[in-house]
Amino acid sequence: MIPARPPMTPLRQRMHDDLQLRNYSPQTIECYLRCVAQFAQYFRTSPERLGPEQVRQYQLYLVQEKHVSWSLVMQTVCALRFFYNVTLRQPRMLDYIPQPKRPKTLPTILSQAEVAALLRAPSHLKSRAMLTTLYAAGLRVSELCHLQVTDVDSARMVLRIQQGKGQQDRYVMLSPRLLPLLRQYWQRYKPRTWLFPGPDPTKPITRETVRRICHDAGVKAGVGKSVHPHTLRHCFASHLLEAGVDLRRLQLLLGHQNLRTTSRYLHVSPQALHATRAHLASRPRR
């Protein structure tokens, strides 16, 4: 059962409008509003009545008691900083909402054999088409959900990604192996607007549904690792590096604004590790 959304109070509406005026994405707007609402629900009062001590208590609660991921902690911090600085116009509160240092972790990478088993696992054609598109194009889950039928350009062999992260459009390659699967999928389901619609054909499939499909496929394939939609994006990047694609081209395909974000895949590329080992081994002895 999907929980009901909090009512749109005047304060919540003001924050929503502030985010929209600054061209935040719908996903970010929803995330920030949810984070502030959960903060208020924890203390059972309006967030405009809460100050530095309550912010500190809530952050400690998330980290020490609830043990949430650091990504959620960062989202909450960003949401509260926006709320106090922009919506309430209390910039002094920023000193009491520090941004924690994000731990640097390596992404989970599957071998090409594991990816192949994962993509074969779903019994439904639509599920196989979605997971294959995630991997073959290196998409974020939100980008997959918002693909439209007209975004598939088979003449130029590209997929158009509209308003991806950072509100940017880009093109990604349409794999020759993916295109026949998408054609087979289209002939069976005849989607009209959204390439992968939800139960209501006028709305796209939800990210939660894609996550569940991906998790179930990983279990069925016996991968033995935690598999999420973003795992397939990581695999796309790592496997391209292994195939010799340079970092700059990979950055453009992934839609990264900063090359440093892309360069972390060097840490999980066997070729990069082997090249370093070979270089060290070839140094002459003194």
The amino acid occupying position 183 is: R
* Helix, strand, coil shares, percent, the chain, to 5: 60, 5, 35
Residue 127's alpha-carbon distances to 122, 228, 272, in angstroms, are 6, 14, 33
265 is catalytic: yes
Provide the token pair at 264: 């972390």
Q: How far apart are CA 203 and CA 155, in angstroms?
A: 27
DSSP, collapsed to helix, strand or coil, labels residue 158 as strand
Q: Choosing from 81, 234, 239, 256, which is the catalytic residue? A: 256
Q: Choosing from 81, 140, 170, 239, which is the catalytic residue? A: 140
Q: How far apart are CA 195 and CA 130, in angstroms?
A: 9
Longest CA span, the chain = 74
190 is catalytic: no
Q: How far apart are CA 248 and CA 119, in angstroms?
A: 28
264 is catalytic: no
104 is catalytic: no
DSSP, collapsed to helix, strand or coil, labels residue 69 as coil
234 is catalytic: no
102 is catalytic: no
Q: Choosing from 16, 34, 160, 165, which is the catalytic residue? A: 165
Provide the token pair at 178: 């993916």
Q: Choosing from 207, 211, 230, 264, which is the catalytic residue? A: 230
Q: How far apart are CA 187 and CA 87, in angstroms?
A: 48
Q: Choosing from 81, 233, 234, 239, which is the catalytic residue? A: 233
Task: List residues with catalytic annotation.
Answer: 140, 165, 230, 233, 256, 265
